[in-house]
A and B are shown apart, each in its own frame.
Chain A
Amino acid sequence: MRVRAQVLGGYPRPRHVRRALRAAERGEADWTSVSRALEAASAAVIGVQVASGLDVVVDGLLDWHDIFRPFASMWRNVTPTALLRYFDNNFFYRIPLFTAEPEPTEPVLAPRARTYAPLAEPARLKAIVPGPVTFALMSEVRGGLKREELAEAIARLLAEEARLAVEAGAGFLQIDEPILGDPEVGEDEARLAADLASEIASKSGAPESMVAVYFYPPDRRVYEALASARVDYVMVDMVDASGRGLDVVAEAGPARRGVAAGLIDARSIYRDRYERVRDAAARLAKALSDGMDLILTTSTWLDLIPYSYSVKKTRLLGLYAERIAEDLGVEFTGGWGVG
């Protein structure tokens, strides 16, 4: 068994990026200065992750206003519209409005993979897509399109997005399905999500893939459906709902290649207690067989806390993963041969 660490998703924007964006939006600066600020800030968050011993890193997704926006803005037949609360956060996303089946234009993920994958070495860059079921259920749909058909259409586009991102250098694929933590999500939605995640992952050709469920843990049936998908890991939020996600995963067992445990609280600025994280990791380790991985990760994206704390949480994640590997007497993949 190996212990690995990775941040789940996007980072908050540092001040200089917020300012550059605001200036460009007001017409007081050109978008070249925004691009420069974004590239510098993305390089910085990649550097923090690599230095913290994370073997898979994200570019921070600093230009994304919400998880759906880049796709809703780029595809035909979909437009970002009014604001709506994003799960239980004091954060709002723009509801994508689909008027017909979406059609691709330019790729969203591939250009960033091309830019940032080389900066991530020796780690690998992760490509992140919204899960098609979450995307479809959190959108407004007009024109007689059924939700399931929409989810399938979204999945086809995301599979191509992911394939191009992998071709451009991404080494890990993450499919976010936070809506599957909703207690009212049924087995039908879970099975659909599993089928579509399988399709995206297999068509992408990504060396590793993961479905992520956060903000609330999935119930056992939903988790089992996802764990049976053709993805390598299912990430579960083990912080919210009093850590109930830990019970679900420890009892139901890992996905194909291991477990991704959201044990570092990405929505609070408390320093997570090492003992809590270690004990949970030790419990999960018992469910893993030789050759499997325990991926320690954040309970959700880090973009819901201030930038300075996102850096601290990243550092903590790497530190704890390394200590847990030591305590369990197993390999930590992010050591980079140092020490």
Chain B
Amino acid sequence: MASYQVPRKFPTTVVGSYPKLGPAEEAIRRRKKGEISEEEFHRIARDAIKMVVEDYLWAGVDIISDGEQTREDMVVYFAERLEGYSPGDWVRVFDNVYFRKPVVTGRISWRQPMIIDDWEYARSISGGRPVKVILTGPYTMLEWSFDLHYGDRREMIFDLAKAIRREIEEAVARGAEYVQVDEPALSTRPFREEAELLKEALEIVFNGIPAKRIVHICFGRLERILPYILDYPVDQFDLEMKNSNFRLLPYLKEYGFDKELGFGVVDVHSFQVESVEEIKAAIDMLMKADIIGPEKVYIDPDCGLKRLPREIARQKLRNMVEAARLAREEW
């Protein structure tokens, strides 16, 4: 495998998802209809993963993902592959778009590798660039599933954490260097007891894992719980910043944030492509706030890019990479 030197300052990365491309949509549709096996599903989706990786390389992103092309939904994908879940019935996500909200009907446990195949494929064509292993975190799985088995949130989240850890161990054994769990549900319930519950779960997920451990949290009022999450057992917090106008920065300063920061500089809800100057200005703002040094800052979008048109996603990433390059010269 080719080697790639990740920049020491302001490496660029992605949160994970990318607009669903044709072959992936086709694979998902055919799998749903029962026309193809799990193996065929991932094999067909490889064409989409390849296109995603090519876009990342074109943009110049340093640490990439597989674009989560096989994941129709961030919770359903894992629920379909873990023991203890049943498909559930249709619930709306937005407009007239529905998904089968999974139902926990038995004890949750890991069954077999879930994301390894896609991740390994992306890695094989990344030109040596690291590929993040990205999983939906236990708190989000808990919150966005129906439970008919546990009746006890703690018990359920800890079983989820064990299952997720098992998948991470599988990836790390195959050479994963960056492992990210996504917890968008946390900031929607920004209360101390919830933050502490996730901390306990993350200790199960991450303790002793020999890779860069990242938690991604986005949107919502994170400042309310910041004091209770800073000692999470992670190396990096990957946070949405642009959409909330960098509101969180003074709080990071106030609470003495000293971990690595995945700094969201691209709004994934807006079709307007941020200019290089705009993104560079955001990086400058972070540096001037004097919270952490440039070697601890990873530049990335606020969240997954899946809701954007592909061309806009590509251009946003390209501008982001260029802004990071300029920032490297200055800081």
Contact = CB atoms under 8 A, between A and B. Distances in A.
B229 to A, nearest CB: 17
Given A90-B75, A306-B88, A65 B94 contact: yes
Contacts of B43: none
B95 interface: yes
Nearest to A271: B148
A21 B221 contact: no
Given A82-B270, A304-B91, A18 B96 contact: yes
- Measured as residues with beta carbon below 8 angstroms from the partner, the interface class of chain B is 20 to 34
Contact of B269 (A13, A82, A269): A82
Contact of B93 (A18, A21, A92, A307): A92
A314 to B, nearest CB: 16
A308 interface: yes
Contacts of A115: none
Given A85-B188, A184-B221, A306-B101, A90 B89 contact: no
Contacts of B94: 65-66, 83, 91-94
Main secondary structure of the interface of B (DSSP, over half): loop
A237 to B, nearest CB: 13
Interface residues of A, number: 33
| Highest count of chain A CB atoms <10 Å: which of B93, B94, B146, B307 | B94
Contact of B189 (A88, A91, A269): A88
A270 B307 contact: no
A84 B187 CA distance: 13
Best-surrounded residue of B93, B96, B144, B307 (most CB of chain A within 10 A): B96
Contacts of B151: 270
Interface string A85-115: 1011111111000000000000000000000
Contact of A12 (B92, B148, B221): B92
Contact of B90 (A18, A88, A93, A94): A18
A249 B269 CA distance: 38
B96 A309 contact: no
B185 interface: yes
B203 interface: no
Contacts of A183: 224
Given A91-B94, A305-B91, 14 more contacts: A18-B90, A18-B96, A18-B98, A22-B96, A25-B96, A82-B269, A84-B269, A87-B188, A88-B188, A94-B95, A270-B148, A270-B151, A308-B89, A309-B89
Interface of B: 75, 88-96, 98, 101, 103, 143-144, 146-148, 151, 184-185, 188-189, 219-221, 224, 269-271, 307
